[in-house]
Amino acid sequence: MSFLYNIAPHLQSLQGELLKCMKQTFQMLFISGTIAFFFGLILGVLLIVTKKHGLMQNPIVYKFLDKAIDIIRSIPFIILMVLLIPVSRAIVGTGSGVTGSYVALIGGTVPFFARQIEAVLSDVDYGLIEASEAMGFGPWEIIFSVYLKESIPGITRVTMITFVSLIGITAIAGAIGAGGLGDFGIRYGHQMGYRDMIWITVAIILLIITVFQGIGNIIIRKTTH
């Protein structure tokens, strides 16, 4: 630890606050990331199966989802977060802090991830879909046994991309009052001029991304045919 204190002299007095902010960031990543993963996966599947020539072709549903996703994706996250404050208050009881950031983080991540999932699922060999239909598989069986099963490496890859994006928007959320490493970096690194704390914050974020990408790469290697 003495080596760290030498290169980051303010760390010793701020390590308690840093650990608190790290915990807040992990909390935001885990809760909002898990919810966004499932909602994004569901929306991505719906986009594929309801589009023209899809398993459950439904132009009305597809056009609604397609336009809604495009509209939400076009809104800068910092503006989206402000717009969703009333929604956050209605759902979780607050529009500020870590808890108040969940709705905005999910809202900012789901459309991006859904598009990524749509792109991955669209690469599934259509011959497999036709073969499954010929064997009498129903739509739900095809979704789980063909689309999702065959796309595990691709889904893992886009999950890693989305995770990096989510870390970025948690930092933005922190900078405007949600807590976490973004808040720590702004308060101590920028406002108080502790440059060593900016580098510590960046190093921690890079470490989180590296570990997550390492896990993702292992999954991709084990599931690639």
- pLDDT single digits (tens) 155-172: 999 999 999 999 988 888
- The reply to whether the predicted model has a pTM over 0.75 is yes
Q: Exposed, middle or buried by CB within 10 Å (0-12, 13-18, 19+), for 225?
A: exposed
Structural domain contains residue 104: yes
Structural domain contains residue 105: yes
Residue written as token pair 């101590």: 188
Model pLDDT, residue 35: 95
Structural domain contains residue 81: yes
Tally of domains within the chain:
1
Q: Contact 8/196 with Cβ under 8 angstroms? A: yes
Structural domain contains residue 187: yes
Instruction: Report, as ranges of residue numbers, the positions in the chain whose pLDDT lies below 50.
Output: none
Structural domain contains residue 1: no
Q: Which residues of 40-61 are buried (b: 16+ CB within 10 A; e: fewer)?
A: bbebbbbbbbbbeebbeeeeee
Structural domain contains residue 2: no
Structural domain contains residue 7: no
Structural domain contains residue 3: no
* Distance between CA atoms of residues 7 and 181, nearest Å: 19
DSSP 8-state symbol, 52: T
Q: Contact 67/60 with Cβ under 8 angstroms? A: no
Residue written as token pair 């569901």: 42
CA angle, 19 as apex, 14 and 21 as ends, to 5°? 95
Which tokens in the block code for residue 12?
């010793």
What's the CATH number where 85 sits?
1.10.3720.10
Model pLDDT, residue 1: 60
Model pLDDT, residue 97: 82
Model pLDDT, residue 7: 76
> What residue numbers bound the domain in which 49 lies?
14-223
Mind listing the pLDDT tens digit for each residue in 20-60? 999 999 999 999 999 999 999 999 999 999 998 888 899 99
* Distance between CA atoms of residues 69 and 115, nearest Å: 8
Model pLDDT, residue 52: 86
Model pLDDT, residue 111: 95
